[in-house]
Chain A
Amino acid sequence: MENEKTYWSENLRLIFICLTIWFVVSYGFGLLLVEPLNAIRLGGYKLGFWFAQQGSIYTFVGLVFWYSAKMNQLDKKYNVEE
C-alpha cells in the first residue's frame, strides 16, 4: 500500500514537471516572452517565433519520450513493469 502511494506520488511529480515544461514552452516562450526572445536569432528565425511555430512541438515530442523513459524506470524500481 505504501509502495503504491509513493509510486503514484512520483508519477504525479513527473506529470507536474511535464506540464510545467509544456506551459513554459508553449505559453511562456511562445507568447509571454516572445518579444525578448525575438531579439535572439536561431538559424535566421526569431527565437520567440520559432518556439511558437516549431520549438514547442519539438519539446512536446521530447516530453513524450522523456516521460515514457522515466515511467519505465519507475516501473522497474517498484517491480511493476510489463
Chain B
Amino acid sequence: MNKHTKLAILVAPILAVVGYIAADYYSEYQAKQDKIFQLVSDRHCDVLAHKCVLKSGKFQVSIYDEAGITTVNATFPLDNATLFLVDNHNQGKSYPLGMKDSPYYWQSKTPLRLLLEHNDKTQKMRLIASIKGGKYLAEFYTNQLK
C-alpha cells in the first residue's frame, strides 16, 4: 500500500462523515418547511357510527362523534386541529378542537348530530390538522348509515 492509497483511505471516511452531516442539515431544513397534504376518505364516511377514516400515506385520522362530542384521533401527534361544519352556502363554521389526554386525540362539542338529522342525514365537513412541518386538509361528507 503506497502513500496515495493510505491518504485516500484516510480522507474518504472524513468526506463520508462531512456528507452525512451536510445531508442531516439539509433533511432538517426540508422537514421544517411547511407542506400541505390532502386527506381523503377511502370509503364511506359515517362519523356517528365511528366509521370515518381519512388517509394521506401513513397518516390516518379517525373522526367520530359520541353524545355531541366530536373527536379526531390521529396516528401522529398533532399540534392543533380544527373541524368545520359546512352549510348549504358552502360556508364553514369552525370548531377548534382541544387536546384530550394526548396530542393524538382532539375533540370539541359540535352540533353534528343535530345537523345530520336536519340535512337529509348528510353533512359536509372540513378538517385542518397541523403537524410539525405540515398541514393536512380534508373536505368530506359524513352520511348516517340507514
**Is the contact region of chain B dominated by helix, strand, or loop, or is it mixed?**
helix
| In the complex, B114 has a CB within 8 A of chain A | no
| In the complex, B5 has a CB within 8 A of chain A | yes
A23 surroundings in chain B (CB, below 8 A): 19
Determine if B4 and A72 form an interchain contact, defined as CB atoms under 8 angstroms apart.
yes
Q: A68-B4, A68-B5, A82-B3 are in contact. Are A31 and B16 (CB under 8 A)?
A: no
Question: Scoring B residues 1 to 12 as 1 if CB is less than 8 Å from chain A, else 0, what string do you get?
Answer: 011110011001
A30 surroundings in chain B (CB, below 8 A): 23
| Interface residues contributed by chain A, number (CB under 8 Å) | 22
Interface residue range, chain B? 10 to 19
Q: A60-B16, A63-B12, A64-B12 are in contact. Are A31 and B23 (CB under 8 A)?
A: yes
| In the complex, A61 has a CB within 8 A of chain B | yes
Question: Scoring A residues 52 to 66 as 1 if CB is less than 8 Å from chain B, else 0, what string do you get?
Answer: 100011001101110
Determine if A27 and B19 form an interchain contact, defined as CB atoms under 8 angstroms apart.
yes
**Is the contact region of chain A dominated by helix, strand, or loop, or is it mixed?**
helix
Residue of chain A at shortest CB distance from B3: A82
| In the complex, B67 has a CB within 8 A of chain A | no
| Listed A/B pairs (15) with beta-carbon separation below 8 Å | A23-B19, A26-B23, A27-B22, A27-B23, A56-B16, A56-B19, A60-B16, A64-B12, A65-B5, A67-B4, A67-B8, A68-B2, A68-B5, A68-B8, A75-B4
Residues of B within 8 A of A (CB): 2-5, 8-9, 12, 15-16, 19, 22-23, 26-27
